[in-house]
Amino acid sequence: MKFFGTRIKTVFSIGVFTMALLVTTAPAFASSNISIPVESTQDVLADFVDTVYNGKSKEIVGIYIEDKLAMPIVQQPEDDHAFISSRKDTLTQFALPADYGVIGVLAHNTEAGEAFYELELGDVVVVVYGNGATDRYEITNDEVWKAYNPQDAYNGTFESMSTRETLSLRDLFIQTYTKPDTLVFQTCYAQGSNLQWGRLFITAELLD
């Protein structure tokens, strides 16, 4: 597997990941989890697909999880890798992980990212493409990482709150975003007034 083929790509990758780690922090952190209400019927997924359809077979246009989440997803502009939609009902695809066969889904924790805190192991995530095709993923892991100096692309480190493992920024990117056929939700995780305390990653694996 090709992780970081040249020094230039390594620097670029780490820099973009740094921006993503920073910009998923919103102005404040929701004190309670608020789910996005989704009508539970057999037709709701089909109706959602119709609302995001644009005819582009290679473009991801929506994310659906029964009874929990149904949101369009927008792409980052080519010249703005730090872009994340500020709309409460819109997700953003993190462009860089696509190079590794991974779907990265970013959101501010006080906007669309609020819904991430309602997700559970075993939930099935439906990825909707512009031509109406879908892929299904199952959530298999969620983890919070405490951030130490996340602004520093070379010396910033992160500590897993479940295993106490400590990783550099580069190694956290590789561990999180380079396993093919996975989907990763990312938003920030605050403690008190510290809005950059940590990051929440929720990983789902492609179903056959």
pLDDT tens per residue across span 47-72: 999 999 999 999 999 999 999 999 99
Q: Work out the pLDDT band at 194, boundaries 50, 70, 90.
A: confident
Buried b (16+ CB within 10 A) or exposed e, 153-186: beebbbebeeeeeebebbebbbebbbbeebbbbb
Q: Would 69 be classed as within a structural domain?
A: no
* Residue 167 in tokens: 């990783």
For the chain, helix, strand, coil in percent to 5 are 25, 35, 40
Q: Would 104 be classed as within a structural domain?
A: yes
Q: Are 114 and 90 contacting, i.e. CB atoms less than 8 angstroms apart? A: no
* Cα separation values, 161 from 100, 101, 176, 201, Å: 26, 27, 15, 12
Q: How many CB atoms lie within 10 A of CB 31?
A: 7
Which one-letter amino acid corresponds to residue 7? Answer: R
Q: Please, what is the end-to-end C-alpha distance for the chain in angstroms?
A: 21
Q: Work out the pLDDT band at 31, boundaries 50, 70, 90.
A: very low
Rounded to whole angstroms, how far apart are CA atoms 137 and 206? 4
pLDDT of residue 29: 37
Q: Would 1 be classed as within a structural domain?
A: no
Q: Between β-strands 182-191 and 102-106, what pairing exists: parallel, antiparallel or unpaired?
A: parallel
pLDDT of residue 76: 95
Q: Would 175 be classed as within a structural domain?
A: yes
Domain that holds residue 152: 7-33+78-125+136-206
Q: What is the mean pLDDT of residues 182-195?
A: 88
Mean pLDDT score across all residues of the chain: 83
Taking the model in full, what pTM does it have? 0.82
- Domains in the chain: how many in total? 1
pLDDT tens per residue across span 82-138: 899 999 999 999 999 999 999 999 999 889 999 999 999 999 999 999 999 999 999
Q: Would 177 be classed as within a structural domain?
A: yes
pLDDT of residue 5: 32
Q: Would 71 be classed as within a structural domain?
A: no
Buried b (16+ CB within 10 A) or exposed e, 66-102: eebbbbbbbebeeeebebbbeebeebbbbbbbeebeb
Q: Would 144 be classed as within a structural domain?
A: yes
Q: Would 72 be classed as within a structural domain?
A: no
Q: What is the mean pLDDT of residues 23-39?
A: 46
